[in-house]
Amino acid sequence: MNDKILALKWRPDYFDDLEGQDHIRMALINALDEKRLHQCYLFTGTRGVGKTTIARLLAKGLNCEMGISGKFCGKCESCVGIKENTSLDLIEIDGASKTKIEDIREILDNVQYKPTKSRFKIYIIDEVHMLSKSSFNALLKTLEEPPQYVKFILATTDPQKIPLTVISRCLQFKLKPITTDILNKQLEKILMHENITFDIEAIAQISKEAKGSLRDALSLTEQAILMSSTDNKHISDSLVRSMLGLISQEDSLNFLIKFAKEGVNCLSKALIFFNAKGVDWLKLLKNLHSDLHKVAMYQVLSENLFITDASTEEYKRKIEYLSNKFSPQEIQVFCEIIIKSIKDLEFSPTEQTGFEIAILRMYAFRIDEGEFLFKASDMNSASESEGIKRNCLKQNNKQEVVSEQNNNFIKENKIVSSKTEDNNFEQIVEKKIESKTNLTNEKHSFSGDIEKPSLSDSLIKSRNLLRAKEEKKKDKLTTLSAPNGKTDSEGFDKKSSLEEPIHPEKMIINQEKIHSSHLISNLSDENDEFINIEKWSTIIEKLSVSKISKQILLNSAMKKHKQLINLFLRDSHKQLQQKKYMNEIKSELSDFFGEAVNIEVFITKEGITPNERKDFLREQKLTNIKKEINTNENVKFFIENFDAQVDYNNIELY
């Protein structure tokens, strides 16, 4: 290896050596061969894509002693002079250092003198956008009436800063960033010539880091060569990683998997790991973003995503795993958070802090559909629902064993026998809910999980609502009976037993009637075949399906007739309807109903989906809150006396 740096040593001598700019190469060769020459050429493109290289090739083609040609000889005095930088008729100007009008005027004054030896006097002005306004004006005058023997070749990374009057007098060529494929091949070729061994991954990392610039790729390679040991020149993957402060895509993907499994608990170990690697936190965030992008794409395209790329089986498996762990909405929120964190990184005390905040924020925003659903449907205040519970107890008139500690139903001794299949179905639903509730309670007593009680309470409430409806359906007369001893000991208020029993279904319908009669007809299961929406929501919560399958269900209304289940899926979510999710739904619902069911999906607006109901309840809650705000005396005072305005858009529901 000689002393020359790679970028200079491997600068193309002929158009045929030029890599990655085929469209420009062909255009210039043809123009030279057909002698269709322009006074001024402008090459634009990001740094290191070959602007000045092409300018020099063009100069050779124009001045070769063998004649104007795209296939110049490269051996004549003129060609060698241009290559060695000794030609008197090639004047190279660095626009960045000669910005002043005096500099440009001095150069342009010489335009009137003919070339000393060659055919043309060629001016190459690099970074031409750096010239001052008056310099451009001087240049423009020359460009308007240039002598026949003068050619200008301008190059810039920022064509926006060049006056249009100048651009319009140039033949403009836009150079494209060089693809990583071409960069890879070029680096492999060069390293093989230089007798340096390398890992394919190492070269791929350098190409990726160079972002389309061959010059950057070459100088990074040069740096890697210098860092490799002197007696055994080898560019290894680990060497490039430590040089670039990179973590592998695998590391960020593994982190996401840990995060999906353990939440923020994985953070402390991950920080130790990344710190030991001397990670660049910005790059780590970017890696996470590109992983999440892959997962989001996989959720839509499934296996088709990998048709055109050579990802390993393990990588595919991990992406698939994550696509089941996170919902499409979560992925979108995560991407938003990461992009925001990347932007805010410079304001963080340290980059690591910025990364930590991003992960904590992702954790805080993980959507728990189940929790939210129950909170939203729990419209009544605590005391009201207690009242409902008691009334339900009385109405049911069944033998209930009430647990001393949590007042939850553990066991139901008597199940009202039923004749129709529909009733069987309702009972299965109830029993399932009950058994799962008990399971939750048991778990609670062992694990002491904080979140469980609220969930099981909600389940109990939902169950009681369901039971009350069932009672109504059977058209039983309300029987007022004295509460049993156990409920009495729980502090039962005897006064309330004398009051008119509150019918839970009536309450819900009354609230919802305010808004939409359409919803009511779909909500009641007496005159419609659709399964009651609350029941449907509860069933979905009980199924252990992937996030995507759950999204399909939450956006579908449901009818069940014998072993056939019809899902009325919304158009907005039809792309989720893929075979593997449908199979999962089928098997889970079969498990749930204890019989093999068939699923048919219709893309339609029919019925009400759990998500639509959730939105509706939320909207309703918001309306009530607005009403409350408007009638509040304090708010009125501020509006009347201080011209205050209520910002309704910032109401937050918890």
Binding site for Zn ion (CB under 5 A): 64, 72-73, 76, 79
Q: 203, 274, 287: which is closest to 240 by C-alpha?
A: 203
Nearer to Zn ion, 31 or 305 (CB): 31
C-beta of 65: minimal distance to Zn ion in Å?
5
Provide the token pair at 533: 């929406």
Nearer to Zn ion, 59 or 107 (CB): 59
Strand-pairing partners, residue 125, are: 93, 154
C-beta of 36: minimal distance to Zn ion in Å?
20
SS3 state at 235: strand
Nearer to Zn ion, 79 or 465 (CB): 79
Nearer to Zn ion, 29 or 296 (CB): 29
What is the number of helices (H) and of strands (E) in the chain? 30, 12
Nearer to Zn ion, 118 or 566 (CB): 118
Q: 104, 501, 580, 108: which is closest to 303 by C-alpha?
A: 580
C-beta of 197: minimal distance to Zn ion in Å?
37
Interatomic CA distance for residues 23 and 174, integer angstroms: 10
Interatomic CA distance for residues 203 and 183, integer angstroms: 9
Q: 132, 157, 120: which is closest to 45 by C-alpha?
A: 157
Sign of CA dihedral 436, 441, 445, 450: positive
Give the pairing type, strands 409-412 and 400-402: antiparallel
C-beta of 322: minimal distance to Zn ion in Å?
59
C-beta of 64: minimal distance to Zn ion in Å?
3
| Beta carbons within 10 angstroms of residue 563's beta carbon | 11
Phi, psi of 90 (to 5 degrees): -110, 115
C-beta of 24: minimal distance to Zn ion in Å?
21
Interatomic CA distance for residues 617 and 373, integer angstroms: 10
Nearer to Zn ion, 86 or 329 (CB): 86
C-beta of 67: minimal distance to Zn ion in Å?
9
Nearer to Zn ion, 64 or 256 (CB): 64
Nearer to Zn ion, 59 or 267 (CB): 59
Residues 6+ apart with CB under 8 A from 634: none
464 touches 450 (CB < 8 A): no
Residues 6+ apart with CB under 8 A from 469: 504, 505, 525, 532
C-beta of 60: minimal distance to Zn ion in Å?
7
